[in-house]
Structure 1
Amino acid sequence: MAEMIEVVDPEGRVIEVRPREEVHGNPSFLHRVVHLIVVNCRGEILLQKRSLDKDVAPGKWDTSVGGHIAPGESLEEALQRETLEELGFVPEKVRFLYKYIHSNSYESELVYTFETCYEGPFEFNKKEISEVRFWPEEQIKEALETDIFSDNFKEEFQRYLNYRSRENSLNKEEG
C-alpha cells in the first residue's frame, strides 16, 4: 500500500490525505514533516548523508533526522518513530525550536524542528542513509557554498543559526 500523507493548511490543520507520490512532485500540497537536530556535548551537529537510492537529494548531507508525519500521528510520535527508524535510538529529551514552510519546485513542507543532545551510538538505516557524522559548525559554514548539502539542510542550518543567535541575545539581556 502507498504511503499516505496529510495535506495541511499553513497552520498545520489537515485538509485531506493523499498518496506520497501525489504530494511529492506537487508543491501545491503542503505537508507536515519533523526535523531533529542532534548535537553532541561539543556543540557539533550530527548530519546524515542520504542514500543514493533516495528520490530527494540523493548523496547529499542533510539534517540529523527528517520525516513525514503519518496520518493521525502526533509530532512527538513522528519524531520518535523517525529517529528510531533512521538513527536507531529514541530521543529522551527534545526541545521544540521553531516551525517554517520550506518550498521548492517539487514539494512544500511545513517543518517542525526540534533539538536533542546525544553522543551515540547510532545504528542508522543503511537503506536511507549511507553515513552519519558530527560536524563542527564552522566546517558546515565553510562547505555551504559547495554542492554537498541538501537545499533543505542549507535553509534549516541558516534558520538554526538565526534561532541560536536570538536565543543567545535573549539570554544575555536576562543575565
Structure 2
Amino acid sequence: FVFSTITHPLFNRLLVLLIPQIILILLIFMEGIRLRILDKKLYREEWLPVVTETGDVTGRVAKSVTKDMKNKFMHPVVRVALIFKGRIYLKERDQSRLLDPGMLDYPFEKYMQYNHDIEEVVRNSIGSESKNPDIPVRFLLKYIFENENTKRLVFLYVSEIVDEITFNSLNLTGGKLWTETQIEDNIGNNIFSECFELEFEYLKNTVLLSYHLKNTDS
C-alpha cells in the first residue's frame, strides 16, 4: 500500500476554520475556571467598612488589601472588657494579630464586617473565644486609635460579672484575672496592649470605681 502525504485542500480549509474556534473554546473554558476560582476567593474574603470619625460608612475594602495599606483607611473594631468582681480578665493576643501580638489584652476583639450589626459583632467576638456569648454587656465609649500600622474606630463594651457560675460558664483558657494594683504596677512595662493601656484609666474611674463604691456601701 502507498500512503499519500499530499493534504487535500478541503482538509486545509477545515483546519484553518477549526483551529481558531478550538482555541476560542479553550480560552472561554479557562476563563470560566478562573472566574470560579475568583468567586470562591471573594466569597471567603472579609470585607471591612471604611468609616469616618463619626462612624459613617463611606465604602468597603477587602481585609487582605487594607492590611497592606496600613492606616490609609479607618475601620470599626469592637472590644469587650471582661470584669469579674472588680478584676479584669486578660490574656496574650494571638501572634497573628496586626496590632500588639503577644501583648496582654481582653480576649474579645473583632473587626466589624461590612453590613454587619454591631450587636451581632459583640456577640460573635465573645462567642468565638468562650462558651457563653450571652453574658451581659453594655456600651462604654467610642474613640479613634491610630499608629503607623492601623487606624481604628474602637467601640468599647464591658461585661461585668459578679457570680462564679456565669464566669465559669465562659470556659476561658490562657489568661487570668488582674487586680487594679497589679495592672498599675505593670503599666508602661511593654506587657499590655496599647489600646488596653489607653482604656484602663477610663475603666478605673468609671466601672471599677462604681464596683468598689457599691461594695464599700454594702
* TM-score higher than 0.5: yes
- Cα 1:56/1:96, change in 2 over 3 Å: same
Percent of aligned pairs sharing the same letter: 25
Aligned-residue offset at 1:37: 0.7
The offset of 1:167, in angstroms, is 6.9
Moved over 6 A (4+): 165-168
Which residue does 1:33 correspond to in 2? 77
Gaps of 5+ in 2: 1-43, 162-166
More strand by share: 1
Residues 93 and 107, structure 2, Cα contact 8 Å, conserved in 1: no
Equivalent runs, 1:101-140 vs 2, <5 Å? 101-118=144-161, 119-124=167-172, 131-140=174-183
Alpha carbons of 1:141 and 1:5: their partners in 2 closer, same or farther (altered >3 Å)? same
Q: How many residues align?
A: 163
Structure 2 residue identity aligned to 1:138: T
> For structure 1, which runs of at least 5 residues remain unmatched after alignment?
125-129
CA distance in 1, matches of 2:117, 2:180: 30
Cα-to-partner distance string for 1:12-62 (whole Å, 9 max, x where unaligned): 11111101133334213111111111111x200011211234333221101
Residue 148 of structure 1: how far off its partner (Å): 0.9
| Superimposed CA distance per residue, residues 60-96 of structure 1 (whole angstroms, 9 cap, x where no aligned partner) | 1012411111111111100000110023321332111
Tell me by how many angstroms 1:164 deviates: 4.3
Residue in 2 aligned with 1:156? Answer: 199
**Residue 15 (1) aligns with residue 58 (2):** yes
Give the drift of 1:156.
Answer: 2.0
TM-score (norm 1): 0.82
CA RMSD of aligned residues (A): 2.3
Query: Does 2:108 match 1:65?
Result: yes
CA distance in 2, matches of 1:142, 1:91: 33
More helix by share: 2
